[in-house]
Amino acid sequence: MEIFYNLRQAMHGINGKRQRAGICLFPAVFIILIPVLAGAARISAFVDQNRITPDESIHLTVTIEGGKGEIDTSVIKDFSVVSRGTGSSVRIINGKTTRKTTSNFILIPLKNGALKIPPLSVKIDGELLKTREISIIVSPESAESSAKKDLFVSASVSKNSPYAGEQIIYTFKLFSLVRIGNLRFQKPEFSGFTARQIGESRTYQKVIEGRRFDVTELDYLLVSATSGIKTIDPALLGCDVIQRKENRTFGFDSFFNDQFFGNLNSKPVVLRTDPITVNVKSLPENSTGVDFSGLVGQFQMTAEIDSRILKTGDSTTLSVTITGNGNIMDAEVPGIKVPDGFKEYRDAPEETIGLGRNGYSGSKTFRSAIVALEPGEYKIESIDMVYFDPEKERYLPMHGGPFELTVDTSDEAVDAKAYTLTAPDTVLKIKKQKVEFTGHDILPLKEELDALKSRMEISLIQFILFLLIPAFFYLSLRLVHIVIRKDLTHRTRMLKKSEKALKKAGRIGTSGENFMDLLYRALVAAIFASADRAGESITYQEAREILRRRGYSDDVVCRAVDLLKYIESAKYGGQNPDADLKNDLLIQTRQLVKRSLS
């Protein structure tokens, strides 16, 4: 099948007559090319550079000739390995056929110094082949060169020495002076912490040494329940830097012939933050004399009661509310000492808690219904709780109450025993009543002779046919549904999706908030339609391969990928094209979908 594919690729661009002649000769050519793959299997590995800085990455290429197998990269310990895909080709030289498989990897250094890429092994036809070891030098760059960078990332925490249970904020930032696209973010594992992303990423601008950077910021809330020294691994960000190609020209018939298209190229880059060490401290000993509530943060408590003067049988509601910033969701029911002469019924707690840039904050309310059983003067003692404030580094108390209550005798006698389930001493006697005629049935009784008249019986076959009627209608509806939708292939649906996105983009105009997103969806849907596939997003390499396989010329493929890169970079890279450029983008996308992909 690969030989078929390569021959078909070679015939692209041939005119109709020559192509038909090539097809006629194809069986004979195939018979000539039938020899088995020749030569012993070989494996080799090479990198694009041997000396890098901690913020740079290495492009590792592993080739296998004369066979195929899986490459084991688990032995690479000094680098983080990111696969960038695998491709294969077949070469025919002097009647001998050779298969070549190329696998690409991005290696991101995990530390400085002399690092090693150990021999990589591949098992081919029972034989174990290995590459040679490769040495890499990772040396820190100077502060001057770092300050001049146009694209870099950073990571920080709001506090490097928190207490166990204390909330801290991990912040990832991307600084950019260049156009970028195809962003791929890999957050750290956050080992030893519970982590949750805070909202969506936010963008703003910041001036650094006289240069205005576009900054994208992403925050995570971290909490560690145990003490000790913990390390947050580096965060990784892969992206494509959009660059201009020099001295590149296109034909006069190009529908991308303007200053924004045709002269763009992308360079894959992987950025890495530094690891962060966090020393989580244990909570000190609680010497307040009140049990620790488990709350760590800043809190306050309020307590109130609806009524202080009651009558026996009446009830009042005691409410205790805890508000503040910290692990408020862990607040437990406070200890309320209800005096004798009352009965307490607790409701489910109500909480209003949100996650923001300062962590969890909000309130939690505990309510109890207190029923007075006996008259007298009563006192509900003070409600006490203790929490730990990491800013002040000490335990602090919270108080509510006390409350003094007066219970008077109710106008209606109320026995306290009524609130308990005790059996009476005597059994009530139930007076029996005589059954009497009280009326007629709802439906009158049949008293005439025709009540004995026999009805027509249904045969077994008729009964079975009657039961099959619903199934018959269901199958008929399914058949109609299949006939109506039989031509809704992936291609049809994706073309309709592309046309819909273009129409909506034209309707909302260039000032619309989702304009660039609609252009992106229209172009991606059209590319997938050309391959009769469905999808929502696509990489540049995947788009290039799809269009080439469909027989489009390299010129059209290049322009389509360039347009995709520009739209994506404008969508994700913080760019804000003016109205005229957006209108040109809409026209170019329409032309590409209409003339080349639909």
- Of 218, 213, 161, residue with least CA distance to 185: 218
Q: Are 342 and 310 in contact (CB under 8 A)?
A: no
Please check whether the two domains, 42-138 and 143-280, share a CATH topology.
yes
DSSP result, 315-372: EEEEEEEEEEEESGGGPPPP---PPTTEEEEEPPPEEEEEEETTEEEEEEEEEEEEEE
CA 253, CA 595: separation in Å to the nearest integer?
Answer: 12
CB environment 421-456: b (16+ within 10 A), e (fewer): eeeeeeeeeeeeeeeeeeeeeeeeeeeeeeeeeeee
Helix (H, G, I), strand (E, B) or coil at 202: strand
DSSP annotation of 492: H
**Which regions of the chain are under pLDDT 50?**
1-38, 143-144, 147, 248-261, 414, 416-431, 437, 439-443, 445-454, 486
CA 516, CA 560: separation in Å to the nearest integer?
Answer: 16
Q: Within its chain, how far is the Cα of 591 from the centroid?
A: 34
Q: Are 490 and 533 in contact (CB under 8 A)?
A: yes
DSSP annotation of 461: H
The CA distances from residue 218 to 83, 178, 183, 313, 355, in Å, are 25, 19, 14, 57, 14
Count of C-beta atoms within a 10 Å radius of residue 86: 14
Note the maximum CA span of the chain: 116
Q: Are 597 and 553 in contact (CB under 8 A)?
A: no
Here the tokens at position 354 are 């949100």
Four-CA torsion 116, 117, 119, 120, nearest 10 degrees: 160
Pairing of strands 51-52, 134-138: parallel
Here the tokens at position 566 are 């520009």
Pairing of strands 309-311, 403-408: parallel
CA 457, CA 133: separation in Å to the nearest integer?
Answer: 91
- Of 402, 366, 390, 398, residue with least CA distance to 299: 398
Here the tokens at position 486 are 């039989």
CA 147, CA 173: separation in Å to the nearest integer?
Answer: 15
pLDDT tens for 498-530 read 888 888 888 877 666 678 888 888 888 888 888
Residue 132 phi, psi (nearest 5):
-85, 155
CATH of 42-138, one of 3.40.50.150, 2.60.40.10, 2.120.10.80, 1.20.210.10: 2.60.40.10
Helix (H, G, I), strand (E, B) or coil at 581: helix
E strand or H helix at 502: helix 490-508
CA 272, CA 574: separation in Å to the nearest integer?
Answer: 20
Fold for 297-419, please state it: Immunoglobulin-like (2.60.40)
DSSP annotation of 448: S
Q: Are 153 and 235 in contact (CB under 8 A)?
A: yes
Here the tokens at position 470 are 């619903």
Q: Are 383 and 320 in contact (CB under 8 A)?
A: yes
* R_g (Cα) of the chain, nearest Å: 38
Here the tokens at position 391 are 């800013």
Domain positions in the chain are: 2-32, 42-138, 143-280, 297-419, 490-597
Here the tokens at position 543 are 């788009």
E strand or H helix at 523: helix 515-530
CA 78, CA 197: separation in Å to the nearest integer?
Answer: 29
CA 518, CA 329: separation in Å to the nearest integer?
Answer: 41
Count of C-beta atoms within a 10 Å radius of residue 292: 15
CATH of 143-280, one of 2.170.240, 3.30.1140, 2.60.40, 1.10.10: 2.60.40
Say which CATH architecture domain 490-597 belongs to: Up-down Bundle (1.20)
DSSP result, 48-110: S-SEE-TT--EEEEEEEESS------TT--SEEEEEEEEEEEEEEETTEEEEEEEEEEEEEES
Q: Peptide bond preceding 402: is omega within 30 degrees of 0, i.e. cis?
A: yes
> Residue written as tokens 């203790």?
386
Res 148: pLDDT:
55
Sheet containing strand 180-186, strands side by side: 180-186, 236-244, 264-272
